[in-house]
Structure 1
Amino acid sequence: MVVGIAFFIGAFIFASFVEYWMHRLMHASPKVGERHRDHHRRNEGQGVVWEFRDYVKGSAIAMLIPFLFSIPAGIGWLSGALVFAAFSAYAHQLQHENPTKCFWMKMPVHYVHHRYGMWHHNFGLAVDWWDHIFRTYKPVEWRAEAEEKMPPRGYLELRWW
């Protein structure tokens, strides 16, 4: 039980670390970032389910490796990775459609990353920890007229498909 919980937490943190660095890589590499540049042009998420699918597809092998060591470690790691993928897919879509609902961050970093064309700052999607640690966090006064004009919506009122 303790092993599973430790691996769950480890996977959640590690997945957030990988997400941060993959996002940075997409901004640094023309080849890796080709699809990502289109995402910036459109400035929209593809829906929570499709974001989740891409996260899982891109990391499926890494999600299964701990099973080689033990079943509890594998279950914990897989669970932590899947929970982070679901949370990240939701957070990504939420920041595109309803950034004022990102209560767990002082500033919705992915939203301002897009809104202010921050090619070198605010790479987090679901969390802003790594931006703080690697000094890519750039605070801005983000609540302006555009955000105040957004119609009030609930936490689940966003594109799921």
Structure 2
Amino acid sequence: MNETQSILLASACFALAFILASLLEYWLHRLMHVSKKVGARHLEHHRNNTGQGVLWEFRDYIRGAIVLIAAMFFYSWVAGIGWLLGSLAYAAFSAYAHQLQHENPTKCFWMKMPVHYVHHKYGMWHHNFGLAVDWWDKVFGTYKLVDWLTEEELSQPEKNLLQLRWW
């Protein structure tokens, strides 16, 4: 395999891992809402309506997917590196987005509506399961657009994108 092919393979694996991680996250979140066994800890998360902090969220995402992340190395080192980096990138992005939506949802500029924030605010047990992205809610028909930007959000003190709980 030449250098160009290696770069293309690693890039494709990065992108595929990023996209599939978002799909896995969506379906696991849905599962947490229908299975008491899988969702016991998640119920506590809904009661508290807080995130653990970006680093602890990241740890949980990685711990839950480590076998899937490592599996691509059995195909090739190049594919494994791309897959690993794509998985880590999505886990970091999702951990950050999750915490941001709990603390500063108006800063989620990449979505029309911060779906996870709305999921909590309105007790949506059947809608808006995305954490970092809203793609899969739209694909699977669980996206529910609401007028979420109320006086509660508008009256929050102005914070920047990095002012949130990191641990």
Q: Which residue of 8, 32, 38 maps to 2:14?
A: 8
Q: Which secondary structure state, in structure 2, belongs to the residue aligned with residue 33 of structure 1?
A: helix
Match of 2:42 in 1: 36
Amino acid of the residue matched to residue 126 of structure 1? A
Amino acid of the residue matched to residue 13 of structure 2? F
Q: Distance in 2 between matches of 1:154 and 1:39?
A: 24
Q: Distance in 2 between matches of 1:44 and 1:36?
A: 11
Match of 2:132 in 1: 126
Q: Which residue of 146, 151, 155 maps to 2:161?
A: 155
Report the TM-score when normalising by structure 1: 1.00
Amino acid of the residue matched to residue 89 of structure 1? A
Q: Distance in 2 between matches of 1:47 and 1:114?
A: 17
Q: Which secondary structure state, in structure 2, belongs to the residue aligned with residue 154 of structure 1?
A: coil
Q: Does 1:88 align with 2:94?
A: yes
Match of 1:27 in 2: 33
In our comparison, the structure showing a higher alpha carbon Rg is: 2
Q: Kindly state the Cα deviation for residue 41 of structure 1 after the two structures are TM-superposed.
A: 0.1
How many aligned residue pairs are there?
161
Amino acid of the residue matched to residue 132 of structure 2? A
Q: Distance in 1 between matches of 2:78 and 2:67?
A: 17
Q: Which secondary structure state, in structure 1, belongs to the residue aligned with residue 37 of structure 2?
A: coil
Q: Kindly state the Cα deviation for residue 22 of structure 1 after the two structures are TM-superposed.
A: 0.2
% same residue:
66
**Coordinate RMSD, CA, aligned:** 0.3
Q: Distance in 1 between matches of 2:114 and 2:48?
A: 18
Unaligned runs of 5+ in 2: 1-6
Q: Distance in 2 between matches of 1:140 and 1:7?
A: 35
